[in-house]
């Protein structure tokens, strides 16, 4: 969230935290009596806010009549969920077995060096957040990384900048060489 209280929502529109919480309330109303609602609601909330701020998590706990400790337990269990603001693009490096043996670790090191951040961190310009993951199901084309919803296959450390550059300026929607929509 920026200093003026404006949150960049993942769908690209600007919305105030107030508006986003109001949207969350609508979601909570739909899910309130459904069993197993917590994880889908957290996913939707992360989509709305870009991450899971405390205000949203507390609203979810109250809205689903769950304890805050349970909500926090679920959020902190899954690496998919983040409680800190993320960059515009989420870069996830697969360190599953196949990707690992095919050099996933070297790809990760190259990304760390290029972006000057560690795993879990966001670049100061809020463009990229770096995460690791365990298998996207693209083992045959290892090593793989995922940027937002897009999987990039057979990534070479030396070509990292080329992949990133597509996202640096545009919004990353342009088709990228050797990549496929997931």
Partner 1 sequence: MPKLTIDNIPVEVADGTTVLEAAAKVGIEIPTLCYMKGVQTIGACRVCVVEVEGARNLAASCALPATEGMKVRTNTRRVREARRTVVELLLSEHDGDCQTCARNEDCELQSVARTLGVRDVRYTGAKAPRYRDSSTPALTRDTAKCITCRRCVTVCNQVQGVAALWAQNRGFKTVIGPAFCQELDDVVCVQCGQCGAVCPVGAITEQDHIARVWDALDDPSKHVIVQTAPAIRAALGECFGYPPGTRVTGKMAAALRRLGFAAVFDTNFAADLTIIEEGTELLMRLKQALVPGGNGHKHQYGPLPMFTSCSPGWIKFMEHYYPDMTANLSTCKSPQQMFGAIAKTYYAQKIGKRAEDIYVVSVMPCTAKKFECQRPEMTDSGVQDVDAVLTTRELGRMIKQAGIDFAKLPDEQMDAPLGISTGAADIFANTGGVMEAALRTAWELITGRPLPFENLHVKPIEGLEGVKEASAKVTDALPAWKFLEGAELKVAVAHGLGNARKVIERIRSGQAQYHFVEIMTCPGGCIGGGGQPRLTDDDVRRARIAAIYEEDEHRELRKSHENPAIQQLYKEFLGEPLGEKSHHLLHTKYAARTRV
**Least distance from partner 1 to the Cβ atom of residue 83, Å:** 7
Question: Where do contacts with partner 1 occur on this chain (CB under 8 A)?
Answer: 58, 61-62, 67-73, 76-78, 83
| Phi, then psi, of 90 in degrees rounded to 5 | -100, 115
The torsion angle over the Cα atoms of residues 22, 25, 30 and 36, rounded to 10 degrees, is 140
**Least distance from partner 1 to the Cβ atom of residue 131, Å:** 15
**Least distance from partner 1 to the Cβ atom of residue 149, Å:** 24
Residue closer to partner 1 (CB basis): 58 or 116: 58
User: Residue-wise over 134-158: b if at least 16 C-beta within 10 A, else e?
Assistant: eebebeebbbbbbbeebbbeebebe
Residue closer to partner 1 (CB basis): 10 or 72: 72
**Least distance from partner 1 to the Cβ atom of residue 20, Å:** 18
DSSP 129: E
Residue closer to partner 1 (CB basis): 69 or 158: 69
Cis peptide before 63 (omega within 30 of 0): no
Terminal CA-CA length for the chain: 29
Residue closer to partner 1 (CB basis): 8 or 81: 81
């Amino acid at each position: 969230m920026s200093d003026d209280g404006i949150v960049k929502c993942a769908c690209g529109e600007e919305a105030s935290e107030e508006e986003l919480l109001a949207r969350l309330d609508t979601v909570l109303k739909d899910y309130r009596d459904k069993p197993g609602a917590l994880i889908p609601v957290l996913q939707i909330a992360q989509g709305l806010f870009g991450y899971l701020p405390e205000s949203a998590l507390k609203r979810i706990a109250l809205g689903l009549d769950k304890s805050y400790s349970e909500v926090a337990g679920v959020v902190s269990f899954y690496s998919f969920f983040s409680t800190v603001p993320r960059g515009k693009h989420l870069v996830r490096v697969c360190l599953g077995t196949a990707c690992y043996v095919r050099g996933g670790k070297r790809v990760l090191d190259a990304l760390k060096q290029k972006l000057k951040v560690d795993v879990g961190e966001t670049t100061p310009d809020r463009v990229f957040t770096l995460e690791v993951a365990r298998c996207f199901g693209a083992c045959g084309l290892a090593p793989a990384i995922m940027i937002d919803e897009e999987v990039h296959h057979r990534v070479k450390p030396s070509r990292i900048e080329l992949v990133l550059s597509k996202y640096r300026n545009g919004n990353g929607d342009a088709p990228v060489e050797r990549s496929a929509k997931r």
